[in-house]
Structure 1
Amino acid sequence: MGRLREGSAVDEADDKDLAVRAAQGDAPAFEQLYRRHVARIHGLCVRLVDGDRAKAEQYTQDAFVRAWEKLGSFRGDAQFSTWLHRLTVNLVLGEYRLLKRWVTFEDAGVDGDGDGLESGEHPQQRVGERLDLERALAKLPKGARTVLWLYDVEGYAHEEIAELTGIAVGTSKAQLHRARKLMREWLS
């Protein structure tokens, strides 16, 4: 029998049970949660800190320490993975807010100007496209990249992004528009 896909109903129920046990001090239950979610949280951190692997590793560890401390606040209304994701975003972006590291388009000096393969597509072509996409994302100003990632990839609404990052809703919309325009130019 194969391993269950991440995010299945059984995994979600199991995560909830593990979170309840971990909140009661069961360290092995928390270790299981850590092992299930560490890769996804690390990937999120890498994207939120400009690809700086050392910072991402530190934020990943900080996120799990914070999760251990805050497990009592996990009510199970949402999936554990959603709760952990939100906690991580708040942790990383909260530090950026405190350090006033939000970069606008003007500050950055930018001017206006699944893993599956489709039939017949060579695997190296997909790798090349992913590298192009990652390079283009890395070229975006930090604020634009963060808004693009949170909105298009993670599914946050502009109001949520504004709350998370401390910017205005209109700024979030403008940065998303600008980021998409730049990405289209760079990838075409």
Structure 2
Amino acid sequence: MQTAAMAIDSEADDDAPLVDAAQSGDTEAFAALYRRHAGALMPMLWRLSGGDRPLAEDWLQDAFVQAWRRLDQLRDRKAFAGWLRRLAANVALADRRRGRLATVDAEVDPGAPEPPWPAADLDLERAIAALPDRARQVLVLFHLSDLGHAEIAELLGVDIGTSKAQLHRARKLIKEALQ
């Protein structure tokens, strides 16, 4: 099974000319990078938001705005996909730390969110969305962003052991929800 992170990374070599052009101020090249990567980042951000699509879309937009502003800081143009994935995760987590709450639409049942893409297993997506925030964050960052526990602990401001415990908790809760 190919994860979104692996799919993005397989395009890394193709990103290099676009990154070069964007670093030189070419907005069309950056728009092409957006089109190439936005769809792959959305599942991670949607899951981090707990199924709140407007919030995930805000984070996606904020991540690309920050990417445009910080593109000159990217030293390895082949690392763009991973750099962008980490930047997007940072945007989402920073917003959560500031205390932003999910924007629940009155017409949407917050207990049964549906992803904005064709999901192979809606029950799994709903189980992920229903996880407590910290457990969901660790699960998504570990499995969808391919981050290790040390990186996750740094991003979340917790100990490595806490990251491992939260991943274990998330897996256990999902298993219980799917039985």
Aligned residues: 156
* Equivalence for 1:99: 99
Q: For the pair shown, which has the larger CA radius of gyration, 1 or 2?
A: 1
Per the alignment, do residues 147 and 20 of structure 1 end up closer, same or farther by CA in structure 2, a change over 3 Å counting? same
* Equivalence for 1:155: 146
Deviation at 1:176, TM superposition (A): 1.1
Kept in 2, the 8 Å contact 1:97–1:166? The answer is no
Moved segments of 4+, more than 3 Å: 6-9
* Equivalence for 1:119: none
Q: How does 1:1-188 map to 2 (within 5 A)?
A: 7=8, 11-76=11-76, 78-99=78-99, 127=120, 130-188=121-179
Per the alignment, do residues 150 and 81 of structure 1 end up closer, same or farther by CA in structure 2, a change over 3 Å counting? same
Kept in 1, the 8 Å contact 2:12–2:79? The answer is yes
Q: Higher relative contact order at CA 8 Å, sep ≥6: structure 1 or structure 2?
A: 2
Kindly provide the CA deviation profile for residues 27-72 of structure 1, in whole angstroms up to 9, marking residues without a partner as x.
1111111111111122221111111111111111111111100110
Q: Partners in 2 of 1:146 and 1:165 — Cα distance?
A: 9
Per the alignment, do residues 185 and 159 of structure 1 end up closer, same or farther by CA in structure 2, a change over 3 Å counting? same
Q: Partners in 2 of 1:141 and 1:51 — Cα distance?
A: 12
Worse overlay, 35-44 or 77-86: 77-86
Aligned partner letter, 1:70: R
Aligned partner letter, 2:71: L
CA RMSD between the two structures: 2.1
Deviation at 1:7, TM superposition (A): 4.7
Give the TM-score taking structure 2 as reference length.
0.79
Aligned partner letter, 2:131: L
Segments of 5+ residues of structure 2 without an aligned counterpart are: 1-6, 102-118
Kept in 1, the 8 Å contact 2:149–2:164? The answer is yes
